[in-house]
Amino acid sequence: MKHFLDISDHSSDELQDILDLAIRLKKEYFSTGNPPLFKGKVLGMIFQKPSLRTRVSFDMAMRHMGGDALYLSPNEIGLGKRESIADVSRVLSGYVQAMMARVFEHAHVLELAKWSSVPVINGLSDYSHPCQAMADALTIEEKFGKAKGLNVTFVGDGNNVAVSLMQISVKLGWNFTIANPEGYNMPSGSVEQAKKVAEKSGSNLSFLRDPHKAVIKAQVIYTDTWTSMGQEEETAKREKIFPPYQVNARLVNEADKDVIVMHCLPAHRNQELTDEVADGPHSVIFPQAHNRLHAQKAILARLFQVA
């Protein structure tokens, strides 16, 4: 791999290879510790948005593997404002061995990759969240194994997290369903792309309005905040539209008896996800968050070509 920008850029075999490596690195970490395969390597981390999981998981992934990470805040760079993205990319890629960027506009991370001489990772953009999807897939495989035909349901806004979850689902042969309000669909281009992949992988895609129909036979229920960063002016409007899409005990009880409930966090508790569910027996939201660390070790290892 040259970069890791979007799930759709990679084959099913490539993605499964990363997941298999993540499982091995995770087991290794908890048994003997990871070897210093990243020694002498520094990851430059560019942030336009605040972060807990993305910043800490990438930082610790580098440390666990013997490398280092450099945090660059929004005020330090002013990506595309104080200095052009092309110039930032060319300068920074002369200092570090890889870059990770958490940006508002997907075009910004694509521009970074265009001009970079080192690997670039999409740590989140307004279009997709591929690193989250890898951690999600790792969590799902830990629970269900490499299960073709698994039923994955997303409830809520057709946002960047939903896009990447759909992409990884069709790549791995899972069935993907989304229930969202009218006007909050996923980008049509990503849907058409996923349909083409699903024809080859055997996945079924369903796009519904009714969350209760969407969770029937679901083995995974996934939700996310109703209002993402950068959409704050829509908060009041969204809080009137999305309550029927809350993941609560009633909805969970309508799914498969062994269903797991996922959320990429941060969660607005008792909005999109009730406390009862978030802290209940079906929830895997914290193991899922911790798996960001191990999935990202595997992504970095493949980009560095050291494992």
Catalytic status, residue 264: yes
| Whole-number Å distance between alpha carbons of 153 and 177 | 5
User: Of these residues, 53, 59, 126, 132, which one is catalytic?
Assistant: 132
The values of phi and psi at residue 224, to 5°, are -150, 170
Question: In CATH terms, are 7-129+292-304 and 132-288 the same topology?
Answer: yes
Q: What's the whole-number mean pLDDT along residues 67-72?
A: 97
pLDDT of residue 232: 84
Structural element, H or E, at residue 111: helix 106-115
Structure tokens belonging to residue 89: 């990319």
pLDDT of residue 125: 97
Concatenated DSSP letters of 154-178: EES---HHHHHHHHHHHHTT-EEEE
CATH H superfamily, domain 132-288: Aspartate/ornithine carbamoyltransferase (3.40.50.1370)
In terms of Cα–Cα distance, which of 123, 125, 130 is closest to 166?
A: 130
Domains of the chain: which residue ranges?
7-129+292-304, 132-288
User: Of these residues, 6, 224, 271, 302, which one is catalytic?
Assistant: 224
| Whole-number Å distance between alpha carbons of 87 and 31 | 43
pLDDT digits (tens, 9 = 90+) for 253-289: 999 999 999 999 999 999 999 999 999 999 999 999 9
Catalytic status, residue 102: yes
User: Of these residues, 64, 129, 238, 302, which one is catalytic?
Assistant: 129
Around Cβ 27, how many Cβ atoms within 10 Å?
Answer: 11
Around Cβ 228, how many Cβ atoms within 10 Å?
Answer: 17
Q: Is residue 59 predicted with pLDDT exceeding 80?
A: yes
Structure tokens belonging to residue 49: 């948005």
Give the CATH number of domain 7-129+292-304; options: 3.40.50.1370, 2.40.110.10, 3.30.420.40, 3.90.1150.10.
3.40.50.1370
Q: What's the whole-number mean pLDDT along residues 230-237?
A: 87
Q: What band does 126 get if pLDDT is binned at 50, 70 and 90?
A: very high
Q: What band does 204 get if pLDDT is binned at 50, 70 and 90?
A: very high
User: Of these residues, 53, 263, 292, 294, which one is catalytic?
Assistant: 292
Catalytic status, residue 224: yes
Look at the block and give the residue holding tokens 């269900």: 144
CB 53 within 8 A of CB 292: yes
